[in-house]
Structure formats: structure tokens, C-alpha cells
Amino acid sequence: MEEIKAVILAAGKGTRMKSLKPKVLHEIFAKPLLGWVLDSVSDLPFKNESIAVIGHGAHEVEEYLNKNYKYVKSTVQKQQLGTGHAVSQAVPLLGDYRGNVLILCGDTPLLTTKTLTDLINFHNSEKSDLTVMTTIFDEPFGYGRIIRNSENEVLKIVEEKDATSAQKEIKEVNAGVYCVNWLKIKKAFSELKNNNSQGEYYLTDIIKWARGNNFKVSGYICPDNREIYGINSRQNLAIATKIMKDKKNDELMSQGVTLVDADTIYISPETQIGCDTIIFPNTYIEGKNIIAKNCKIGPMTRLRGNCEVGEGCKIGNFVELKNAKVAKNSNVCHLSYIGDAEIGSNVNIGAGTIFANYNSITKEKKKSKLHNGVSIGSNSVIVAPVEIKENAFIGALSCITKDVEKESLALSRSPQKEVKNWVKNKKEKI
């Protein structure tokens, strides 16, 4: 299997985000921007390794990487001296690596594994030394224009402010992603110049350097220009979220899932949903989940990740699921919270049921298990960890803190008390 390494630029502050949080840690569907990029790289059909160049908020970004991507190496760009300088920080980690290196930004969450794969395959088929990803915009204002020669090789990138009137008419623009033959191109990062108004070392200058050293430079056109969308502001974040949401919704509907009001339904790209399932309005599903066929979800429902919903289930309105498995033909009725739980088949969970799974003192989360055929009465509390066995019945308003045997009735409510004529007596005293 071909080996490839990736350098991901994640050092920027993101001033326009107006945030104390590093830009690459802002989230879409509860996953940071950097996570989306890292996952796109890690899913490549090549043996791969990623290096994240971090800077602003380095401690927070490194903590995120250590928790979620232990295999990703990181290096710190202590001074923000430009994108070319950022890549140079990874040079010691790459050393004399013999192979291709992907260079991309950590704030482009819409970039897909397929597009990166196509870029690499194009780079190899063209026997190119450096391939820059490009795309086409009808209105390319603000982007660097791609200048090609008669042989279709890329000569240079001209930024908007430096472009002539004729060059501004060019619709092919720089997407900011590169595939390079590392042994041939790595020297560029020690020879880039910063003689520009910003005093920075620009990554785009490696094209000029490569051409000057007689290396072949190609351009791969990304067919979907939405994928190169970068995040620099809260407005950008909202637009990217909507693009990701709409793309997933279209995919699901083409696979036989009904979305009653697609404009108000947000479903993570990492969620799988079977045919003939109906998703009702204002449902929000984040993280990785599997929802089987013939289910009804919502309205006003939230799945927070790591959930499995079996065939024929109904997850009612104002229900929240987190780290929960619900087997086939079970119902979770409205106004309920199911967290860290395993629910069997043909289970009915009454309205207002809460799974108390978190100990705020020890910071521990415990799991509860409900076997097949269990029925939970409304407004009950299941205090983890407990196991409720087959066909047990929990009376309404119960707080369950111990295991319940199969076919049993469990109750923990106070006896009902009635005071005769209490209202009448109160009125007579007024």
C-alpha cells in the first residue's frame, strides 16, 4: 500500500471568530473543525500519518489531539510568520521521508476523503512533483487565480490584489491544498522569501520555487467548490454547518429516508439511517449513530452520539439520547432522557422518564440495562447502575435504585393521601 503523510496547518488564531478558543476547535455537529480534517485524512485508502502544526492555543489543541487522535504528531509554530513558515515547522518530523505529502488547512471541514484521494491519484498519474488543488467559481472575487501555460501546467497563483484585469476574469482559483513529492520539494521551505507587505513566508510561493527548479507543477480541479470553504468567522461557521447539513439530508432522502422538514433537521454526516425511517422537524443528531429502518424520530429530538436505534423504534418528541442502544420495536416517549443505557426490544419508556447516569461528585457515568419487554411508567427515574430484567413493570413516579427481577412490579412512590373537604374548608375561612 502506498504511504502518504499529511501536514495540517492549525496554528492560526482566527481573530474574526472573536473567541478565546482556538479557531480549529470550534465545532460543527459537536466535532471540532480540526477533527473533520483529520478524519478525512485518516480515512484515505493509503497508509498515512498526520502532523498538525499548532500555535495559538497550542495547549488546548494538543490536549484535544492527545484525547482523540493519539496517533497524530504535533509541532508548535511559536511565531505566526505565514503558511510557508508553518509547513517548515514540520520539516524535522518529515526528515528524508520518501513519498508524497499532503498539505492542507485545519479549518476546511467540508473537504472529503474522496476528493483528497482523487487529488493523490491525479498527482501520481501525472507524475507531478507538486500538485495544487484548484476549483472553479463563477464569482471568484477574493481568491488567488490559477495561471496555466499552454501545456496546462500551473505557472503561478496570482492573488486578487495583484491580478490584472484579464487575470481577474479567470474562474479557476487556489483551493489551498497541495500534494508534493517530499524529497524534491522540501528544500523550498528553507528557501522561501518574505519580501512582501506582510513580511510572511507564503505557501503559494512553492509553485514559483518548483517551476524555477524545473519541477513539474500540476493542478487538480475539485469538482465541488463547496469543499474548499474555509472558516474565519462565526458567519463562515454557520454557512459551513448548513452546507454539511444540506448535503447529508439530500443523501439520506435519496436513500429512502423521509425528512418532514429538511430545513429544520440537522443530521451529522457520521450518522447512518435506514430506509422508510421518518425524521420529524427540529431534530438534531450529532456524532456517530446508527438508526435502523422503519423508525420514527422526533419532532424536537436530540441524539448526542454513540446511539443505536433498532428497526421499528419510536423516539418521541422532546427526547434526548446519549450513548444509548435501543433494540427493535421499542418506544421512548416524549420528554425523556436516556443516557448511558442499553434498552432491549419491545420496551416502552413512559413520558418524562429520566436515566440518572451521572455522579457530579465522582464525575463518573454509570450504565443501566433494560431487558426485553420492560415497561417504565411515566415520570420515573432510573438511577444507574441498575438492571431491569425481562417483562418487569415499573410503576409511574418511581425512583428505581436497585435491580428488578423479571416479570416483577417495582414501585417507590409515596402512598396517596386524601384530606376530605380540604378545599371547601379553605374557602369558608376566606
Q: Express each pLDDT in 124-175 by its tens digit.
A: 999 999 999 999 999 999 999 999 998 889 999 998 988 999 999 999 999 9
**pLDDT value, residue 196:** 81
Q: Is the pLDDT of residue 177 over 90?
A: yes
pLDDT band of 413, cuts 50, 70, 90: confident
CATH class entry, domain 234-410: mainly beta
122 with 133: CB under 8 angstroms? no
DSSP 8-state secondary structure symbol assigned to residue 138? S
303-313 mean pLDDT: 98
pLDDT tens for 196-222 read 878 899 999 999 999 999 999 999 999
pLDDT tens for 351-373 read 999 999 999 999 999 999 999 99
* 195 or 408, greater pLDDT: 408
Catalytic residue flag (residue 123): no
Cα 335 to Cα 86, 226, 315, 350, 355, distances in angstroms: 49, 38, 10, 9, 12
Question: Of residues 56, 59, 123, 334, which has the active-site annotation?
Answer: 334
305 with 286: CB under 8 angstroms? yes
277-284 mean pLDDT: 98
Domain segments of the chain as ranges:
3-228, 234-410
pLDDT band of 430, cuts 50, 70, 90: confident
Half-sphere exposure of 177 (CA within 13 A, CB side): 32
Report how far residue 244's alpha carbon sits from residue 379's, in angstroms, rounded to the nearest whole number.
37
pLDDT band of 266, cuts 50, 70, 90: very high
DSSP 8-state secondary structure symbol assigned to residue 143? S
Report how far residue 141's alpha carbon sits from residue 80's, in angstroms, rounded to the nearest whole number.
26
Q: Is the pLDDT of residue 1 over 80?
A: no
Q: Is the pLDDT of residue 82 over 90?
A: yes
CATH class entry, domain 3-228: alpha beta
Burial class of residue 342 in the structure, from the number of CB atoms within 10 Å of its CB (0-12 exposed, 13-18 middle, 19+ buried): middle
296-301 mean pLDDT: 98
Report how far residue 69's alpha carbon sits from residue 400's, in angstroms, rounded to the nearest whole number.
38
For the chain, give the mean pLDDT: 96
